[in-house]
Amino acid sequence: MSDGTREPRQVSAIKGAKDILPGEARVWQRVEALARSHFELYGFREIRTPVFEATELFQKGTGETSDIVIKEMYTFTDKGGRSLTLRPEYTPSVARAVIEHRLYLQPEPLRFYFMGPMFRYDKPQKGRYRQFHQADVEVFGENDPAVDAELVELADSLLARLRVKGILILVNSVGCSKCRPGYIRELRRSAETSRDKLCPDCRRKIDTNPLRIFDCKVESCLLIAEAFPKITDYLCPECAEHFGRFRGYLDDYGIRYRVEPKLVRGIDYYTKTTFEFVMTHASQQNAVLGGGRYDNLVQQFGGPDLGAIGFALGLERLLSVAGLDEVQEKFLYMAFLGDEPKRKAMALARFFRNHGVECLLEFKDKGLKAQMGRAAKVGASWVLIVGEDEIRKGRYSLKDMASGEQGEGTEEELLSRIMAGSRGHS
């Protein structure tokens, strides 16, 4: 008979969210550390903004016709009645911070990077989550197309350091407020002739923003879009010159790329340069990073006339294609028997940790044999054995788990041996 109590219900992670467990997190840390050091080589400095912002920031910046704003934002009303949104992308937040803190009045370059989670209500699938992570790079106040090329070179060299193979770089210009309206009129006229053949979403985009048709993932729509006018044929002299100089600087770097006139990106604020890095051997969801220039965004938010450019790099996608070698983490396992050896092991662990040696000291009631087995199971590099005899002699037994060699020494002598072993395997 039931006593009327219910079994506690197991609570699982929300669909579209993913736990990053310790073993995987170590790989994330390696990639993040390498990316941070790479960004800093180019004069970028980290900036951190809140995970939520006023909803209007993303509506105004990302664009009310973008799929992000229409379909994907996590928006809620807080207890003060304000509409807030978990950030779906990072650029509007950085632009807001630049204006709010008047960073443009300071002597430091306006070059920023950020790493952290973003939130979009999208269909979860392999490599795509509703909480996902990005590394973002943003430059403000530099209008020369040379900085556009430098960002592409920065991204290219970062992926090379991470041993990502099979990358194709796509570049385009989406024009500016002078030339894009004329192109959009022609694009809308062309799309209208194929309205009945387009998917319902693309039919809506004809009226709202026909550029978004190029973002459609429906194969039949993509085939129809092949016949649409190319934006590169409609660029004004200023945009055409900017695009030509940008490509010239890429040539100077020796970077191979392909001009893709349909590359408009999924966000409304882009002007002039756009670029994307895609995998040549992947399925439909094959973009690793993408970005472009957004010269009007800061002014649109009420700030000064600051040209800007940036890119976003999806960390989940990056980790799935990076070719990093596996690193064997080296650490010391402390084995002890009895209360006094436990106290001494605690003191020794503190000594080794203070000298930069990772130590694992587990407080479980196990015999020496079981502790040695445990050390092998968790992949310890060495085991330090602390017993009453060792305490009395002031010399402790150290076993190298790879070679099986065992010796003894004082804590200083064993520290030297461990440090030499760490250098030998670095």
Provide the terminal-to-terminal Cα distance of the chain, rounded to the nearest Å. 62
In whole angstroms, give the CA distance from residue 234 to residue 173: 10
Residue 267: per-residue pLDDT: 72
Residue 71: per-residue pLDDT: 76
Closest CA to 53 of 103, 89, 17, 79: 89
Residue 64: per-residue pLDDT: 67
Closest CA to 154 of 76, 72, 41, 53: 41
Residue 167 main-chain phi, psi, to 5 deg: -100, 135
Residue 174: per-residue pLDDT: 94
DSSP state of 71: I
Residue 284: per-residue pLDDT: 47
In whole angstroms, give the CA distance from residue 8 to residue 11: 9
Which amino acid, residue 105? L
Closest CA to 129 of 13, 272, 226, 8: 13
In whole angstroms, give the CA distance from residue 415 to residue 349: 11
Report all structural domains of the chain as residue ranges with CATH numbers, in order of start. Answer: 22-179+235-321 (3.30.930.10), 332-424 (3.40.50.800)
Pair type for strands 271-279 and 287-293: antiparallel
Contact of 420 with 414, CB cutoff 8 Å: no
Residue 228: per-residue pLDDT: 94
Full strand arrangement of the beta sheet holding 308-314: 45-46, 111-119, 131-140, 308-314, 287-293, 271-279, 167-173, 258-259
In whole angstroms, give the CA distance from residue 222 to residue 198: 9
Element (H, E) at 135: strand 131-140
Residue 168: per-residue pLDDT: 96
Residue 280 main-chain phi, psi, to 5 deg: -85, -10
Which amino acid, residue 288? V
- Residue 270 region by backbone torsions, left for phi larger than 0, else alpha for psi between -120 and 50, else beta: beta
| C-alpha torsion sign, points 225, 230, 231, 234 | negative
Instruction: List CB contacts of 76: < 8 A, sequence separation 6 or more.
Output: 83, 84, 85
* Residue numbers of the chain with a pLDDT score lower than 70: 1-5, 63-67, 125-127, 266, 282-285, 423-426
| C-alpha torsion sign, points 269, 273, 276, 277 | negative
Contact of 165 with 342, CB cutoff 8 Å: no
Structure token pair of residue 252? 């100077």
Contact of 101 with 94, CB cutoff 8 Å: no
Contact of 163 with 322, CB cutoff 8 Å: yes
Give the predicted TM-score (pTM) of the model: 0.88
